[in-house]
Chain A
Amino acid sequence: MINSREVLETINMISNENLDIRTITLGISLRDCCNPDVKLLSQKVYEKITGVGRDLVKIGEEIERDFGIPIINKRISVTPISLIAESCQGDITQVAIAMDKAASELGINFIGGFGALVHKGYTKGDRRLIDSIPEVLVRTGQVCAFVNVATTKAGINMDAVTHLGGVIKGTAELTAENNSVGCAKLVVFANAPEDNPFMAGAFHGIGEPECVINVGVSGPGVIHSALKKLSPEADFSQVAELIKKTAFKITRMGQLVASEASRRLGIPFGVVDLSLAPTPIIGDSVARILEEMGLEKCGTHGTTAALALLNDAVKKGGVMASSHVGGLSGAFIPVSEDAGMIDAVKCGALSLDKLEAMTCVCSVGLDMIPIPGDTSEHTISAIIADEVAIGVVNNKTTAVRIIPVIGKTAGQQVEFGGLLGGGVIMPVNKYSSTVFAKRGGRIPAPIHSLRN
């Protein structure tokens, strides 16, 4: 009746290899909260979030206890605020403050959805919302912002890309006292998924139901440990097989927790996001998995191929373990949140250019990268343009979450704290992109977007 080997394998994954559920994210529609009076709108937003999310943390903790698996974050994503605040004329930061208050009340650590979808163009409300982002990220603690500036279908809104360069720089300056950490709560997307449970880019898309439970799994440590046991002579077919099998097991945990959370909360299950999400703690690194495949340091030649194999094998293993897969579903490479990536940057093995190449084969993009504080807003816009172009042309999600750390230069150390980690400021290209970044307009959708 008991298979000791299986029981001990599961326990070992949890206690020694950092297997955990990274997040249970409750998506809530706020479309019924619209009101022209910003005070009433904010009040409705607060009441809806605290009402629907009332039991999220309690149930999450119960599941942790009953199954003995850590659930690191309980979070909430909401309808993009640009949509519900479009007809309201007041100070939009009040809505974000109401979201923040609701998050504190519920005991969750982040709430996502303060954002806009402007891949083809702006409405007046979109522009107002994007302009308010720096102030919102300073005045709130738990609110995360996003802007979708490109899709494969619509192309790239270069006006928005130019705008966002300034918004990121503005946020960095306003939070300069804390290493410009406000920028860690802002994601610029191409092809943003509507059901992503991971922060800072989570929002409850317009095709989503009234409310929904999405779960993000983790487990780089488990895959790393499994690969360590493989002989160095094992070929890549064997490596891929092993990752698939391990990803299957990890994802089954996610599916179990998602079904349980859905049942206990009485809220429909949405998706399991098959992402390998690292944390700064030792033994929870995606970079170490790549190195285990035979690379001296993450970032050296071969890294992109290793990551492509990893990303594909995780999906193939995970997809059969879950009834619905969605969100970002791919390995994450957030530099400051991954001990192996931090080491690789420190020793000069991993550059911004290599990271850009790596984002072609995995999710999500240039993530949690500290860059010099004197980087111009036009250079930031050009970095965004490059990254979203990869997403648009390859029909995948890409994103940029970079942090120009005010007062710091390339090579200096920076600490953001907690799950956000820290690391070394990475240099950017010193040549100007100003004329490019200021050109504006739209980069047309690629020819292969015309599939009908």
Chain B
Amino acid sequence: MRAVITVIGTDKIGIIAGVSTILADASVNILDITQTTMQELFTMIMLVDISNANVSFEQLSSRLSEKGDDMGLKIRIQHEDIFKSMHEI
């Protein structure tokens, strides 16, 4: 099962490292990363495979969101289907 992680906020050192560490610890594989700055807002979007994750989706979500709080960023994880269903016919 695949999910999309989005990181939105002010750019700073260690964002990718912080998120990747959480994912590696949870045995979540990163499939794709894109990074842009839109209207002075840093946004990073990751497509990940959570099929072999060793924690529940809920735990992963709260770990990421706590990391976001620490770094002053908004980090979300959502099932890929919400984006596919809205934008693909």
| A and B: bona fide binding partners | yes
B57 lies within 8 A of A249 (CB): no
Of chain A, the residue at the smallest CB distance from B58 is A65
Do A2 and B34 form a contact, CB below 8 Å, given A11-B6, A66-B57, A252-B85? yes
- Complex Cα gap A15–B76 (Å): 11
Of chain B, the residue at the smallest CB distance from A320 is B89
A69 in complex: contacting residue of B43, B74, B82, CB < 8 Å: B82
B61 in complex: contacting residue of A4, A10, A65, A255, CB < 8 Å: A65
In the assembled complex, B79 has its CB within 8 A of some CB on chain A? yes
Chain A interface residue count: which class? 20 to 34
Do A1 and B31 form a contact, CB below 8 Å, given A66-B78, A67-B81, A68-B78? yes
- Min CB gap A222→B, angstroms: 11
Tell me which residues across on chain B come within 8 A of A4, comparing CB atoms: 34, 36, 43, 45
Tell me which residues across on chain A come within 8 A of B78, comparing CB atoms: 66-69
- Complex Cα gap A1–B2 (Å): 12
Tell me which residues across on chain A come within 8 A of B87, comparing CB atoms: 3, 6, 9-10, 249
In the assembled complex, B17 has its CB within 8 A of some CB on chain A? no
Tell me which residues across on chain A come within 8 A of B13, comparing CB atoms: none
The B-contacting residues of A in range 1-46, CB under 8 angstroms, are 1-4, 6-11, 15
In the assembled complex, B47 has its CB within 8 A of some CB on chain A? yes
Do A11 and B58 form a contact, CB below 8 Å, given A6-B86, A256-B82? no
A interface residue numbers (CB < 8 A to B): 1-4, 6-11, 15, 65-69, 249, 252-253, 255-256
B interface residue numbers (CB < 8 A to A): 4, 6, 8, 31-32, 34, 36, 38, 43, 45-47, 57-58, 61, 74, 76-79, 81-83, 85-87
For the A-B complex with A2-B34, A3-B83, A252-B85 known, give 14 more contacts whose Cβ atoms are closer than 8 Å.
A1-B31, A2-B46, A3-B87, A4-B34, A7-B4, A9-B87, A15-B74, A65-B61, A67-B79, A69-B78, A249-B86, A249-B87, A255-B85, A256-B81
A-B contact pairs, 13 of them (CB 8 A): A1-B32, A2-B4, A2-B34, A3-B87, A4-B34, A4-B36, A4-B43, A7-B6, A8-B6, A66-B79, A253-B82, A253-B85, A255-B85
